Amino acid sequence: MTLNQPPTPHLAAEDPDVARLVEAEAQRQQDTIRLIASENYVSAAVLEATGSVFTNKYSEGYAGKRYYEGQQLVDPLEELAIARAKAVFGAEHVNVQPYSGSPANLAIYLAVLKPGETVLGMGLPSGGHLTHGWSVSATGKWFNAVHYGVRKETGRVDLDEVRDLALRERPKLIFCGGTAVPRTIDFAGFAAIAKEVGAVLAADVAHIAGLIAGGAHPSPVGHADIISTTTHKTLRGPRGAMLMSTEEWAKPLDKAVFPGLQGGPHNHTTAAIAVALKEAATPEFSAYAHQIVANASALADALLERGFDLVSGGTDNHLILADLSPKGIGGKPAAKALDRAGIELNYNTVPFDPRKPFDPSGIRIGTAAVTTRGLGTAEMPLIADFIDRAVAAEGDEPALDAIAAEVRALLASFPVPA
Ligand SMILES: *Cc1c(COP(=O)(O)O)cnc(C)c1O
Residue 240 identity (one-letter amino acid): G
| pLDDT tens digits for range 47-75 | 999 999 999 999 999 999 999 999 999 99
Q: Would the pLDDT of 2 be above 90?
A: no
> Do residues 237 and 177 both lie within one domain?
yes
Is 239 designated active site?
A: yes
In a domain, 400, yes or no: yes
pLDDT at 1: 45
Half-sphere exposure of 220 (CA within 13 A, CB side): 29
Q: Are 43 and 237 in contact (CB under 8 A)?
A: no
- ∠ Cα 65 69 75 (to 5°): 50
> Do residues 177 and 325 both lie within one domain?
no
Looking at the CA of residue 100, tell me the nearest atom of ligand 1.
7
> Do residues 120 and 55 both lie within one domain?
yes
User: Computed over its alpha carbons, how large is the radius of gyration of the chain?
Assistant: 21
Nearest CA among 326, 345, 357, 332 for reference residue 387 = 345
From the candidates 8, 31, 48, 58, give the one annotated as an active-site residue.
58
From atom 8 of ligand 1, which residue's Cα is the shortest distance away? 101
Q: Would the pLDDT of 117 be above 90?
A: yes
The mean pLDDT value for 267-295 works out to: 98
> Do residues 126 and 257 both lie within one domain?
yes
Is 58 designated active site?
A: yes
In a domain, 418, yes or no: no
Q: Would the pLDDT of 216 be above 80?
A: yes
> Do residues 103 and 210 both lie within one domain?
yes
State the Cα–Cα distance between residues 233 and 222, nearest whole angstrom.
23
In a domain, 365, yes or no: yes
| pLDDT tens digits for range 75-109 | 999 999 999 999 999 999 999 999 999 999 999 99
Range of the domain at 332: 291-411
Residue 276 identity (one-letter amino acid): A
- Domain total of the chain: 2
> Do residues 84 and 195 both lie within one domain?
yes
pLDDT at 417: 81
Q: Count of CB atoms within 10 A of residue 196's CB?
A: 11
Binding residues: 124, 128-130, 247
User: Of the residues 254, 280, 306, which one is the last residue of a structural domain?
Assistant: 280
Here the CATH number for the domain that contains residue 339 is 3.90.1150.10
> Do residues 223 and 246 both lie within one domain?
yes
| pLDDT tens digits for range 136-172 | 999 999 999 999 999 999 999 999 999 999 999 999 9
User: Of the residues 260, 280, 300, which one is the last residue of a structural domain?
Assistant: 280
> Do residues 153 and 251 both lie within one domain?
yes
> Do residues 261 and 311 both lie within one domain?
no
> Do residues 148 and 272 both lie within one domain?
yes
Is 233 designated active site?
A: yes
In a domain, 40, yes or no: no
In a domain, 33, yes or no: no
From the candidates 151, 163, 172, 239, give the one annotated as an active-site residue.
239
| pLDDT tens digits for range 127-141 | 999 999 999 999 999
Q: Percent of the chain scored above 90 by pLDDT?
A: 97
> Do residues 255 and 361 both lie within one domain?
no
Ligand 1 center from residue 227 Cα (angstroms) = 13
Cβ of 101 less than 6 Å from ligand 1: yes
Here the CATH number for the domain that contains residue 54 is 3.40.640.10
In a domain, 155, yes or no: yes
In a domain, 297, yes or no: yes
**Pairing between β-strand 200-204 and β-strand 173-176 as defined by DSSP bridges:** parallel
User: Of the residues 218, 252, 280, which one is the last residue of a structural domain?
Assistant: 280
> Do residues 147 and 101 both lie within one domain?
yes
Measured over the CA atoms of residue 323, residue 235, residue 105 and residue 111, the dihedral's sign is negative
Nearest CA among 80, 15, 30 for reference residue 342 = 30
- 394 class by beta-carbon count within 10 Å (0-12 exposed, 13-18 middle, 19+ buried): buried
Looking at the CA of residue 38, tell me the nearest atom of ligand 1.
1
In a domain, 416, yes or no: no
Q: What is the band of 6 on the pLDDT scale with cuts at 50, 70, 90?
A: confident
Ligand 1 center from residue 241 Cα (angstroms) = 9
